[in-house]
Amino acid sequence: MLETQAERLIERLKSACTYNRFDEPRVHAEYIRFLMRHDYDTMDEAIDIALEEESRNVPAISLISKKYHEINKRPRRRADVQNQEYCAVCDNKGFVLMTKHIKNGDEELPYQYVLYCPFCAVGRSHAFDGSQCREKIPYKVPPLTKYFDDEGIEALREANLKRRKASEDIVTRIDFGDLAIGQPMPDVPEAELWDEVGDLPF
């Protein structure tokens, strides 16, 4: 998670608990460091559970960590997993597609493979390691951190935020002048209408 998200969780803990030691710099820094190593959505849920057990004092890092890992061990259907906040690294898709060119005789063929995003709940639902299956298989979906360093991840984040802002700025305008939708009916004398319709069978 981002530092701003970690600060938001600390504000939650300050508000929910009667006593806290976040005014001590080392305590605050340690919680920030711990929180930033984890996913925001799952950690938010883990704090909810921890606060149910202990709301007088701020739950210890060890307790929050225990609840976090318990949540991650729960079986989840992929369709149920959603991001509470927009993930700029993967554009909320949960994965990044990479293209590698493989030589096949005289030509190079493009081959696409997927990397899951470890920074959001949707991304972690795409993680797969065939060596951990009951019947081991050689397939796996690695995290994008295996191929992207901090600069590469930041570049992905900036590109997705820029693309998102551009799409939000586009305003679609429809010229209704050429369409017959919503135009008033012409004034037609009632006698002419009856002539057109004729005698109706009811």
Tens-place pLDDT, residues 68-121 = 888 777 765 555 677 778 889 999 888 898 888 888 778 888 888 889 998 888
Query: 70 in helix, strand or coil?
Result: helix
Q: What is the pTM of this model?
A: 0.47
Tens-place pLDDT, residues 144-168 = 888 888 898 899 999 989 888 887 7
Rounded to whole angstroms, the Cα distance separating 139 from 137 reads 6
Judging by beta carbons within 10 Å of its beta carbon (0-12, 13-18, 19+), is residue 89 exposed, middle or buried?
Answer: buried
Residue 6's CB is within 10 A of a number of other CB atoms, namely 20
Tens-place pLDDT, residues 176-202 = 455 555 555 566 555 554 554 445 454
Rounded to whole angstroms, the Cα distance separating 10 from 27 reads 11
Tens-place pLDDT, residues 7-44 = 888 888 888 877 777 788 788 888 888 888 887 888 88
